[in-house]
Amino acid sequence: MSEALAPWATRENESRGRRHPEQPPRYRGEYHRDRDRVIHSTAFRRLVYKTQVFVNHEGDLYRTRLTHSLEVAQIARTVAGALGLNVYLTEAICLAHDLGHTPFGHAGQEALNRCMAEYGGFEHNLQSLRVVDELEEKYAEFPGLNLMFETREGILKHCSQRNARALGDLGRRFLEGHQPSLEAQLTNLADEIAYNNHDVDDGLRAGLLDIDELREAELFREQHDAVRARWPDLAGRRLVHEIVRRMIGRVVEDLVEGSRAALEDAGPASAADVRHAGRRLVQFTPEVGEAHAALKRFLRLRLYRHNRVIRMTTKAQRTVTELFQAFMDEPRLLPADHAREAERKEAAQGPAGRARAVADYIAGMTDRFAIVEYGRLFDPRART
């Protein structure tokens, strides 16, 4: 595979390796192994019942964290191939980037972060790292999935200075102002492309957006008008799909072109040069970058702040908050293994240890499990 890689791609023979040494795989590469370990993880399977914008029970056809992660990986794989990047590393980061997400999407994360404010906070990128480093229980020789350094580093899209200092080598780039690998940079933008365009699709499906108002966004209007000009009678789901797929194609092609220009200008001769480039080299052209950002702003105003979304967000945050408080007040309400972990962590770290164990349990819940657990705790008629 190394022969197909560009000079700036991440190579296995230059990796910082795994936390726990292992025999190399016989018939696949190390990043290929990472990708496969993520796919076979319990946290990855749970993503099928964790939502993006809509809560799981609202409909079967809306995006979930699982379908989103697959769509991010598909988009990123295309760009990685065009730029000569390490495709397996790119896929591994994409598939792992949301493993630490709470139930109820960003609403759940915000609620859990508030609950954890005096205990170190909660951030889903760091939680994804905790999942692959500690919380997955798969292997006899080590906790977690024991992923390669570059895969683990790529999961961390953001990190505070305080948290970075606690992460050792993994957090060093945040302290020193260095860039992540191109594969990690690509994952960040593929994530944005996927949720921008697929939230348009889900918003239309749910009736929270309509085509006329979406024409205010340049990316949508450009493709809508082109589709209408060619197929004036096209309607319904076929019209929406044709527009959305063209929107994705437009920004993906631009991302390849913009990144090629940036790489040619910077001229990195190695993956190490990428880290010291002083700027991100996976990027849109300025024109499309602004249109992409404008669509993001449009969705923030018209979709994420829609009264139906806010109503569900409020209920979701109340559910997470009250679950957290109940388990903090009485850890024996937790399942036995989680209660033992809360006791162990509290003995070692005090109340912050108990809180982290509770946060780990809640973050691992799916939407529907959180709703059922809430009923068990607070509805006297529910079976325990």
pLDDT tens-digit profile of 245-261? 999 999 999 999 999 99
| Distance, C-alpha 67 to centroid of its chain | 11
Q: What's the pLDDT score for residue 139?
A: 95
Chain segment 163-214, per-residue pLDDT in tens: 899 899 999 999 999 999 999 999 999 999 999 999 999 999 889 999 999 9
Instruction: Give the other-Cβ count within 10 Å of 171's Cβ.
Output: 19
Average pLDDT, integer, range 271-282: 96
Lowest mean pLDDT among 55-69, 82-96, 236-250, 339-353: 55-69
57 has pLDDT over 90:
no
Q: What percent of the chain has pLDDT over 90?
A: 86
| 3 three-class SS | helix
Q: According to CATH, where is 1.10.3210.10 located in the chain?
A: 2-307
Say how many residues make up the chain: 384
Q: Give the integer Cα–Cα distance in Å for 357 and 341.
A: 6
pLDDT tier, 383 (very low <50, low <70, confident <90, very high otherwise) = confident
Q: What's the pLDDT score for residue 54?
A: 57
pLDDT tier, 381 (very low <50, low <70, confident <90, very high otherwise) = confident
Q: If residue 93 lies in a helix (H) or strand (E), which one and from where to where?
A: helix 87-96
113 has pLDDT over 60:
yes
List, in order, residues 6 or more apart from 46 with CB less than 8 Å away.
Answer: 364, 366
Chain segment 1-21, per-residue pLDDT in tens: 445 899 999 999 999 999 999
Average pLDDT, integer, range 295-320: 93
The DSSP code sequence of 103-158 is TTHHHHHHHHHHHTGGGT---HHHHHHHIIIII----SSSSS---BHHHHHHH-S-
- The helix/strand count (H/E) of the chain reads as 19, 0
Q: Give the integer Cα–Cα distance in Å for 163 and 357.
A: 18
Lowest mean pLDDT among 46-50, 52-56, 110-114, 235-239: 52-56
Of the candidates 50, 56, 46, the one whose C-alpha atom is nearest the C-alpha of residue 103 is 50
Cβ atoms 115, 209 nearer than 8 A: no
CATH classification number, 2-307, choose in 1.10.3720.10, 3.30.470.10, 3.30.70.141, 1.10.3210.10: 1.10.3210.10
Q: Is the pTM of this model over 0.85?
A: yes
Cβ atoms 163, 126 nearer than 8 A: yes
Chain segment 32-49, per-residue pLDDT in tens: 999 999 999 999 999 999
- The chain-wide mean pLDDT, for the chain, equals 94
pLDDT tier, 379 (very low <50, low <70, confident <90, very high otherwise) = confident
Chain segment 283-299, per-residue pLDDT in tens: 999 999 999 999 999 99
Q: What's the pLDDT score for residue 145?
A: 98
Instruction: Give the other-Cβ count within 10 Å of 250's Cβ.
Output: 19
